[in-house]
Structure 1
């Protein structure tokens, strides 16, 4: 096995887990109708290495909603089993982006079933349910804003303005199927929705713990800490000031525009090169749900 294939296999194993190869073959090898064509914006964005950066940004941004963060903090295994959660997230994105209609519907049904069982009380006393349409809307908006911004900055094949709107509309199909209401279908609506939700966001101990965990003590081997740190720095560099302050993250405009951006481009190009080695198409490279 050459260096390119070995690196690609290592990255894929981390993202997709032990069942990744069999799942990849089923997703890409099964014949049947699919919601999205091979050249559609959602396929191009979710198959790009920029998703590594977008996924980290999405996790940081999502943590600012106290109820969404409470659900993750109290029920998710992202600290105890980070790679298991990552492989499940990767599988869901792959099924709903690249899979047949049947496989996509099955993946959505599984997630809806899990969400229906997750409920509790946030530290501020408010009850929450994971299947709350408003919470699902927030998680979706944070993800899509992050995925699209990461692709705009680090993606290999840029989208036109029309394709950016089409991407938002395509992702809305999955969000509505999961139970989210009033999801945006254009880039302008996405920005408006994010602005409307900002009053609900806040700094919480759980959010700050999540940021420290993702940025300072990530669940990666020592050999991968440096490249992971590059991706994490790129993710932080794309967060707006209003999202950094409650997470106590610094802002270094000159460094981020030069050193961080350059390193992020090198990292995503290297990942894309490795994972495009001859063989079956890779699953999407995301760290978010």
Structure 2
């Protein structure tokens, strides 16, 4: 049987079919659909609500997910194995109990199998809705590759049925018996799309972004809900506005036709990431330059509208406002209004991901953050409820800088200083922060010493001043 036009043209080897589809920008439709079905699983939903930054910082989550996926389907086996080990280390730190007293564990084999199941089925659905359904051999190979992904992650693969014929009854049974409509599903469908902050390329255009989000958010929700399996929509009581099904089919078909007919460079995920300025590999690509040119005039209008609509509320103490803003932008990584261990763990995960840390360095970093959390609880958790509110932080008499924070800075310096010369070079700085040196930091020497690096980190984490480097690292959405 001949391969469909939409299938890879080379003989499938390890992850070749999967790599073909995840490299397409339209795979975002499949990944978004799959994320809802994943969140509906009790264990995964609880892990997301308790630990993830996907609501407060969705662009960071998107960028890291795409980077991780590229590593997992890389040609180099060592790259794949290293990324699988890194993900396992991060997931081993995510466990707990949900609001109903049910335990959850990110390493649970059933939950990990369901993640692969949703991604496989959503990819198959994407191709079908896009007008080029997968033929049986290609679908079988894709399924085998997702099962191989579980083996790569260290599972034995038994959490997914051994054959594709057995998969579909398993998939339907899981939807009908295991899935629920929970807080995580509500967050994905309603909070993420409604509250998503502007991507890096649009942060200077808040008014333009507000208009885009007001239109695109409800449409994205309607399209995603309409694409979900009817069984789940019915049991979760999810309704769609009139015309949503037609709109969903139209979007998928248009994306499929564009992928089929347009030059590949126009429809690859890298192009999409470049336009939104999310790709680490190209800070000044053609997509970003084009978007910047299109928004040049809009920036003046945006600035004027911001001035005319400025908040005229009651005056607030500048010190208190600064502390509360720092709490919201930096410390509250999960966006739930409180500072707790998952927020600091999210900081550690982001740093470990940026630097692709080895197991030993990563363990040092998480230990340092755990020590800092204990210091923060001792000094700031005045009511002893195990979390720190914005008010508790803003009214504290001292800044949260102590020995543990210095230890974090030392670990961060050691991990960034890859050549061990005790100076952070421009290239090392760029890898961690994705921004160039501030000339004031280097002192004209072209590098950053340990003392200067630690001083800058402590000054920023004390909330005393902004830093382009640490804003890129810890505050971006």
Interval of TM-score (by shorter of Structure 1 and Structure 2): 0.7 to 0.9
- Quote the residue 2:174 is aligned against: 197
- Quote the residue 1:250 is aligned against: 239
Task: Note the alpha carbon deviations across 1:22-69, whole angstroms, 9 max, x for none.
Answer: xxxxxxxxxxxx9637xx422222223331110110111112112210
* CA–CA separation in structure 2 for the residues paired with 1:195 and 1:137: 14
* CA–CA separation in structure 2 for the residues paired with 1:219 and 1:284: 20
RMSD: 3.2
* CA–CA separation in structure 2 for the residues paired with 1:282 and 1:194: 28
* CA–CA separation in structure 1 for the residues paired with 2:256 and 2:212: 14
Alignment of 1:82-101 (within 5 A): 82-101=58-77
Q: Does 1:132 align with 2:108?
A: yes
* CA–CA separation in structure 1 for the residues paired with 2:220 and 2:185: 19
- Quote the residue 2:85 is aligned against: 109
- Quote the residue 2:301 is aligned against: none
Q: Does 1:262 align with 2:250?
A: yes
- Quote the residue 1:163 is aligned against: 138
Task: Note the alpha carbon deviations across 1:143-192, whole angstroms, 9 max, x for none.
Answer: 2211221122227x542111101101011111222244422454433312
**Kept in 2: contact 1:60–1:211 (CA 8 A):** yes
SS of residue in 2 equivalent to 1:49: coil
Q: Cα distance, 1:200 vs. partner? A: 1.8
1:97 to 1:103, Cα distance in 2 relative to 1, 3 A: same
**Kept in 2: contact 1:43–1:97 (CA 8 A):** yes
Unmatched 5+ stretches in structure 1? 1-33
- Bigger Rg, which one: 2
Q: Which residue, 5, 21, 42 being the options, matches 1:66?
A: 42
SS of residue in 1 equivalent to 2:96: strand
1:47 to 1:206, Cα distance in 2 relative to 1, 3 A: closer
**TM-score, normalised relative to structure 1:** 0.73
**Kept in 2: contact 1:73–1:206 (CA 8 A):** yes
Higher relative contact order (CA 8 A, sep 6+): 1
* CA–CA separation in structure 1 for the residues paired with 2:271 and 2:71: 10
* CA–CA separation in structure 2 for the residues paired with 1:238 and 1:284: 25
Q: Does 1:175 align with 2:150?
A: yes
Count residues in correspondence.
247
1:256 to 1:274, Cα distance in 2 relative to 1, 3 A: farther
Q: Cα distance, 1:77 vs. partner? A: 1.0
Q: Cα distance, 1:94 vs. partner? A: 0.9
Moved more, 102-111 or 42-51: 42-51
1:284 to 1:153, Cα distance in 2 relative to 1, 3 A: farther
- Quote the residue 2:265 is aligned against: 276
- Quote the residue 1:24 is aligned against: none
Alignment of 1:39-54 (within 5 A): 40-54=16-30
**Kept in 1: contact 2:117–2:171 (CA 8 A):** yes
Unmatched 5+ stretches in structure 2? 1-11, 199-208, 274-477
**Kept in 2: contact 1:208–1:248 (CA 8 A):** no
